Structure 1
């Protein structure tokens, strides 16, 4: 089930000010549901009568939460944090969750051109609102997103730069979770220890390949307890990450272990998700999308969040623009052959003996399967070979019979 939390912070600019860290939180009773500790700076370009100007807007530490408009959400409304400062300047972050990972789905930037102290000689007036729905901020549930490095997000011609950020939504307690998901900009490699002529090192042995993964059976149930998504597959993660023990980027294969993996997710008319969780290190989320016009569906997104012991920081990879496992409503997709689904340059998913049906499940059994092209080609090869052998046998048999007939003709008497 998805929820959306909107995080809105209104700003004011002080010319002689400096970038301050601000703490903002929303409570319901004694419980905190959203908390943010961050510094932020806006770069805004606006038109004047003669040309254009660019101003910087800083978030001061005096920004306060607006209790009247902030809430943890209800069944019909999203959680919101609203902090007021100045006459209508603002930025917003929209959150969603699939039950295991929360992410920022939209950044909203608002500023009031009628504020002459910030926008002198502005040609226009009133509040301008802009949005960006491609924000790469995500973390597992019960984990704090941390990014100390400056992160600039473009919003059309303007931009927002966050730094010293620690942020969490859908909080289980009153303070930020001690477990952290660190952004890529903060994931630095530890320098190698210098060696002298008298020092000898032994290279770490290459890891043993894990072999073919075990095929697992997974499902998702709807609100009345019946299966709405079925999947059977062996899964192997092919990832590149910075190794602590080897102090370099390595490529590893990790097999998903079905008896240690739980499944959850959601089903909808045009979107379905399958979330596989292997505690305590890994969450793998599949998103399927249905085209209601053509009644065709496909795997449109994969998100991996992992925290292996040898990584220098939690591993994160996501792509929501995929086009794999295409099939038709009322049918399942099947591919017994090994497939490689390239998600991002640092992560590919290898599948084995896969069958999945995310829509149109009416019983606990898969519907008739549409097979992948590789399986069809593999089935065609023995048919072609068999037909060729049968043709060869037939040719030999005909040649033999013709030869026998001619030999008998040579012994005839007159």
Structure 2
């Protein structure tokens, strides 16, 4: 969701609930309550933000500086409130992380970024002086309860028209001690660089691991996103299949698994802006899938620019999360939907791809809550062309046979005369 209103942290306030230090370009942020620490994060972050100028758009890179402080809106939660970590920096900018937890896992449930366009040093020639707030529920930071989330590798989170990139992250919420737990939940990106320990020697022959059964074609689901006044601003009908490579706890090796998204267990949410729209699909507490569509106002064309996934399946040694904000899929025209009945594979990175079936989406220009006329994908056009070509060839063959028959019949009467 994007709002052009002040963020609840109160930017004018710089009271600190804990301490902030910088260690080798990392910022350390702590949220305390009394003498106890409930959230601690050591991380590096940068923000890629696109904004409007008189001559078009401009993108700036803004680092999270060592001068960032913990804002007064930060909280350990309780009484129905979620724990919050809010970092204030620069001239009216803020990064907020809220957390949620169940019996086994905790995660960053919401990421909020606030940036002040009146900061001319950061946003030169900006058309607006608004304070813009964007947020997303698709963050991908998940860890086991009472462990430290660790992710040294860089990972990006798409949020509105901005991208937040984290690296060198060690973080824990719902802490039971004053320091980070020595037990860690390591992100998938870091695991790819870690060699699994060899299994202990065994005197018995282990039974071969069962081969996963292909899930078959998924069922089509219908999803929608409404803006603040209740008007539908994004529509989607599609059947989805996740193809994820992860380290299996039971097999002690990296496996590839294909899993169908189940529409009857999936809820949709998201946000819409004039030039960007987000659809977030959540299946229980195990799978979260986020789509970002961007509109080019010059060409009046839109496409899928970002796709991210968070999966916490039972056989994973750690929750899987990945994202890509530089995609170019599902291209359509403003005021029209995009349709592709054929199976498509949307490659996100080496460990994740998304298979789509019977897809129709419209992230912009919806009229009366209904899909408009569709732009068909090339696959569907090719699939229609094949039967047309085959049909034309068969018709031509029949015509040739008929002509040959008529010519042969005429010649067969040429040697006889009427008496």
TM-score (norm 1): 0.66
The Cα offsets for residues 197-255 of structure 1, whole Å up to 9 and x where unpaired, read as x3221111111111111111111112222221111111000000000000100000010
Q: Is the 8 A contact 1:271 1:290 kept in 2?
A: yes
Q: 1:23 to 1:105 in 2, by over 3 A?
A: closer
Q: What is the CA-CA distance between 1:405 and the residue it aligns to?
A: 2.1
2:386 is matched with which residue: 367, 381, 391? Answer: 381
- RMSD across aligned C-alpha pairs, in angstroms? 4.6
Q: What is the CA-CA distance between 1:190 and the residue it aligns to?
A: 5.1
* Partner residue in 1 for 2:316: 311
* Partner residue in 1 for 2:204: 199
Tell me, yes or no, if structure 1 residue 297 matches structure 2 residue 305.
Answer: no
The Cα offsets for residues 100-142 of structure 1, whole Å up to 9 and x where unpaired, read as 85459799xxxxxxxxxxxxxxxxxxxx99xxxxxxx944599
Q: Is the 8 A contact 1:19 1:39 kept in 2?
A: no
Tell me, yes or no, if structure 1 residue 278 matches structure 2 residue 283.
Answer: yes
The Cα offsets for residues 254-276 of structure 1, whole Å up to 9 and x where unpaired, read as 10000000011111111001100
Q: What is the CA-CA distance between 1:24 and the residue it aligns to?
A: 2.4
The Cα offsets for residues 23-53 of structure 1, whole Å up to 9 and x where unpaired, read as 52389xx9xxx97524579xxxxxxxxxxxx
Tell me, yes or no, if structure 1 residue 165 matches structure 2 residue 168.
Answer: no
2:187 is matched with which residue: 164, 174, 183? Answer: 183
C-alpha distance in structure 2 between counterparts of 1:284 and 1:209, whole Å: 21
Aligned to 1:204, the other structure's residue is in SS state coil
Aligned to 1:401, the other structure's residue is in SS state helix
Q: What is the CA-CA distance between 1:359 and the residue it aligns to?
A: 0.7
C-alpha distance in structure 2 between counterparts of 1:106 and 1:93, whole Å: 5
Q: Which sits farther off after the overlay, 272-281 or 362-371?
A: 362-371
The Cα offsets for residues 325-344 of structure 1, whole Å up to 9 and x where unpaired, read as 00101111111111110001
C-alpha distance in structure 1 between counterparts of 2:26 and 2:267, whole Å: 43
Q: What is the CA-CA distance between 1:391 and the residue it aligns to?
A: 1.3
TM-score (norm 2): 0.65
Q: What is the CA-CA distance between 1:152 and the residue it aligns to?
A: 8.5
Q: Is the 8 A contact 2:86 2:94 kept in 1?
A: no
Q: Is the 8 A contact 2:87 2:95 kept in 1?
A: no
Q: 1:326 to 1:64 in 2, by over 3 A?
A: closer
Q: Is the 8 A contact 2:152 2:190 kept in 1?
A: no
Q: Compare CA radii of gyration and give the structure with the larger one.
A: 1
* Partner residue in 1 for 2:335: 330
Uncovered stretches (5+) of structure 1, i.e. residues with no partner:
42-58, 74-78, 108-127, 130-136, 154-159, 169-175
Uncovered stretches (5+) of structure 2, i.e. residues with no partner:
45-65, 76-84, 101-107, 116-120, 123-137, 156-165, 175-179
* Partner residue in 2 for 1:44: none
Q: Is the 8 A contact 2:20 2:30 kept in 1?
A: no
